[in-house]
Each structure stands twice: as C-alpha cells, then as structure tokens.
Chains A and B, each alone.
Chain A
Amino acid sequence: MKAARGRGIPLRLPYLLLGLGVLVTATPYLWMISSSFKNQVEIFAFPPTLIPQSPTLENYGQVMDRLPLLRIAFNSFLVSLSVTGLAIFFGALAGYAFARLKFIGREFLFGLALFTMMFPAILFLIPRFMLIKQMGLVGTYPGLILPFVVNGLSIFLFRQFFALIPNDLRDAAIMDGCSEMGVLFRIMLPLSKPVFVTAGVFTFMDTWNDFLWPMVTTMGYPELMTMPVGLAFFSQSYIHYWGASMAMATLFTVPVVLVYLFFQRCFVESIALTGLKG
C-alpha cells in the first residue's frame, strides 16, 4: 500500500489527517471527564475550561448516593458472563456436531443457524417480551439471559474451526476407547481456544452494550438494572445536571477502556474476524 500511495501524496498528510481524527475521537472523552469534576456553576462557564478551576467530587458523590453502583455493575457482569459462557458452550456442542458427526437434518439445521444471524434481536422485541412474560421471567436474571444463550455466529465459528482439525486425532482417540463426548471435551475444546476468544469477545460486547432489551425487561425492577439501563435511568431523572451524568459516564467508561487497552489484540481480532465472516 505504501508503494501505491507513498509517492503521490506527501507523507505528512496522512499523519495530519489521522492526528485530526484522533482529536475528534478523543474530545468527547476529555470533555466527559473534565465535566465530571466541575461544579454546577463552572460547568456552564463561558468560555468553558478544559481543566476544572475548582475540581470537585460532588458529582461522583451524588451518583453513589442515588444509585447502587456495585449492584448495577454486578448485574451487568453476571448477565454478560452468563450469556457468553453459555453461548460458547452451546456453540461448541452444536458446532462439533455440524462439523464432525453425521445425522439427519444436519445441513438443514446448520442452514437455520446461519439464517438466525440475519435477524437482529430488535425484530423480536415484542413477541419475545410477551414470551418472557408468559414464562413469568420479567424482572429476573433468566429473562435477561435466556434469549441470548445461543447465537448462530458462535456455532458457525466453532464448526469452521472443528472442520479443520484432522480426523486422525479423533480416530486415534476413539480407537483408544475414548467416547465421542470425550473427544469433544478432552481434545477438541482444549484445541479451540482462539474460537473461545473470538466468539466470546463478540458475544460479551453485544450483551454488555445492549440497552433496549434489559430496559424493557427490568422496567419496575431497579435492582436488576444493567449498566446502560442504570446510566440512562439516572440521566433521565437528572436532566441538565450534566456533571452528575458525566461522572457516571466516566465511571462506566474508564475501567472498560483500560481493560480494552490491555486486551486490545483480542478485541481487534474478534471484530475483524466476526465482521468479515458474519
């Protein structure tokens, strides 16, 4: 690519444009953090200050007073981790069957698994809510988790991966008296760590970020709010108290960003892969 562009365009231009882009990306974060430390007067000051003149923690205090932050974070983790763990587990089971075993309806069922990937959850918002309601699961953890414990993408990724593992491995194990389940759990699963990461990061981020479903299923059950729902709820009841909203936004963003910077490679690979194949 350098050969293609390097000569025609001066080399400084990309740096300039990319630097500008970084500024555009970074500004909202800086503005958010800066605002979260300003008091109710300074936040509306003109011209606005980047570094708060009289930094205060009152916004953070307000957030902690009004919302059970630990409970909200716990809910988010519980729901996202359960969904991710189950989606990987069920995805691995089905993916193995589709890749390695012979059974009636295999192609048809695998086709259906791919088919489900084309339907965003939002299309099922109303009927799934009615279903959860009929099952008495509104305002419960299962209501938040169950609709997402299987996803077509995980099945697809595991199937592709298992299909590449040489058959000899399985044959040798079966010869030695290993059962089909033994092959799956002792040989195939330990080998498939990369898929765990790819499918896991994708599923986790999707669930973690989801807003509409947890909002409608926890309506009237504030003890079950996830982080996005808690933040939305808080900001709605404190309109124009931007400092407090920004404090909560900062609390919910900075730790996640740190985790991301630490595991950046996993994220990047997962999105590149799921994006290209999905």
Chain B
Amino acid sequence: MLQRIRSFGQEIGQAWRSSDKIAYLLVLPFVGHLALFYAYPALFAGYLSFHEWAVISPDKPYVATQNYAYLLTDATFLRSVVNTLYFLILFLPGVVIVPLSIAVMLNQRLRFQAFFRAAYFLPIVTFDVVVALVWAWMFADQGGLLNYGLSLLGLPAVRWLSGEGLAMPAIAVTTIWRWIGYFTLIFLAGLQTIPREVYEAAMIDGATPARAFFKITLPLLNPVILLAIVVATINGLQLFTEPYLMTKGGPNYRTFSIVYFIYNQGFRYLRMGYAATAGIALFILMLVVILLERRVVERRFEY
C-alpha cells in the first residue's frame, strides 16, 4: 500500500516537473470562473433547496425536503410543467420540419439565393423582446393584423392571446417564427456536407427525389437533426420572455411556464429556496426529455 502511494506520488512529481507551468496560469481564469459561477451556484442551489429562504426574513430555517414535497403538489408548478411540455410539443415540429424544408429548398441552385437567405435569417438578429411585442400587437384583439386577415377570409375574429385555447399556440407561433432562420442555417450547413455525387448515384439507380430525401438526406442528416432537437428542447424549456410580455402567463395560467414560475417565486414572492428547488426540477426535466429524444431519434434512423 505504502509502496503504491509512493510510486503514485513519484508519478505526480514527474508529471509536475515535466508540465508546462505556464499552463496553470493560462487556465486560471477559466478555473476561477468555473468555481465561482458554476460549481458554487450548483452547490448553493442544492443548499437553498433544503431551506426556507425568504429574502426579507432574517432566519432561513432548514426544512429538509419540504420544498420538494410542496413543489410536487403545487398546482401552479404542475400547471407550468404541463404548459411548458405542451409548448415544447408545438415548438419542436415547427423548428425542425419547417426549417428543414426551407433548407432543402435553399440548398438547390436557385436564383435570389442571397436574398432568400438574408430574409430568412433576419429574426436571428432581432431581440426576443421585439419579436414578442410585435407579435403581441399582431395577435391583439383590437386592431390586430391577424384578426383583420381572418375578416378578409370572411371568418369571425378570434381571441388569440386572451382566450385560454389559443394563447399557447399563439406563443408557439411567435417563438417558431423567431427560430426558423436559426435552424434553417444549421440544417443548411448540414446539407452542404452531403456530397452531390451521392444523389447522382441514387438518380442513376432510379431513385425518385422523395426516396432520395428519405433514404439519403434524412439518415445522413440524422446527427444534425438530433442536435437541432436538443438545442430546440433546451431553448424551448426556457420559455419565459414571450409569455412574460405577451400574456403575463395568462389567461388563467394557460401560458405560465416553468421559468416564469421560478421568476415569480424568486423575484416576486422572494422565496429563493423554493425557486431554487424549481430550478433543480427544471434541470432534471431537461435531462429526462433530452435523453428520451436521443433514444427516439437514434432508434428511428438506425442502420
């Protein structure tokens, strides 16, 4: 045993002597930042979640797992989880299927290529807050553009954001609109890695374009699609800006998201312990959803 420790010590010493000492200085900012803004907050969040941490009150009693128990029976929180997952179900197809179709079209030799690209990518550089406000105005009950569009078609006006049924779909449309360009770009980059010869060979073998798409493009693009789904999930589960500005989480909590719940608990009711607990729940949910998606996507296109 002693022998082992000694030889291990020697190994470390050897490694230390032959290491470039300057490297420790170069990684110091990274390590310091990691400790301060990742490790410490992660540990502190865990600590907070076992305490009743009201900002205004001086004593922060230890409450064991009470926060977790409350959270799992808190109707508002459960509502926010259901809403967020519902949003994700609307959001994911919108930011995968639509951008993928646009990317496939843009990947052909088209005229006005540069114009189309410039136009589609515009929302990427537009503030989320601007997108939310402009769409809130487009969806407005009074004077909104979309209800005018419906009237042109001879349809009655609809309560987009003020009715319980359509509020979340309307928010999903807004968010999808904002992300379409981003995901188009990612798919386009992925499509450009597929060599043209593959398609030419398929054509010679008599494959139809549709067959080529499903048998060549989709499988080869599978890693990019999975990446897009994961990125979209991570972003979708963070839904906040749109409901905050467009509906205030209403009507009747129909657009109240998990992050909105965390924000409310932490910064409106100043219950930091409870808010941190909900943050941990969001992390776990994110992990579970992404693992599930990986499973589904990888199995579907396996060879």
Contacts and interface: CB of A to CB of B under 8 A. Distances in A.
A and B pair up? yes
B124 A93 contact: no
Contacts of B71: none
A3 B199 CA distance: 7
Contact of A94 (B30, B142, B143, B262): B30
* Size bracket of the B interface: 35 or more
Q: Looking at chain B's contact residues, is the secondary structure mostly helix, strand, loop, or mixed? A: helix
B182 A271 contact: yes
Interface stretch (B78-86, B88-96, B104-112): B104-112
Contacts of B266: 125-126, 129, 216
A144 B251 CA distance: 32
A71 interface: no
Interface string A65-97: 000000000000000000000000010011011
B118 interface: yes
Given A28-B138, A93-B27, A126-B276, A47 B48 contact: no
Contact of A245 (B38, B137, B217): B137
Contact of B34 (A17, A26, A116, A235): A116
A15 B110 contact: yes
Nearest to B107: A1
A20 B216 CA distance: 27
B44 A131 contact: yes
Interface string A242-278: 1001100100110011011100100110011101101
A32 B36 CA distance: 42
A131 B35 CA distance: 12
B191 A44 contact: no
Given A113-B34, A126-B275, A131-B40, 6 more contacts: A124-B45, A127-B276, A130-B272, A146-B37, A150-B30, A212-B259
Contacts of A193: none
B121 interface: yes
Contacts of B112: 15
Interface string A182-222: 00100000000000000000000100010110001001000
B189 A21 contact: no
A227 interface: yes
6 contacts: A24-B177, A25-B123, A103-B24, A127-B45, A127-B276, A267-B125
A164 interface: no
A275 B185 contact: yes
B15 A212 contact: no
Nearest to A110: B27
Residue of A48, A125, A129 contacting most chain B CB atoms (<10 Å): A125
B227 interface: yes
B186 A271 contact: yes
A7 B133 contact: no
Residue of B38, B148, B244, B275 contacting most chain A CB atoms (<10 Å): B38
A2 B109 contact: yes
Nearest to B207: A4
B45 A1 contact: no
A70 B41 CA distance: 34
B129 A276 contact: no
B38 to A, nearest CB: 6
Interface in A120-178: 120, 122-131, 146-147, 149-150, 155
A51 interface: no
A36 B283 CA distance: 40
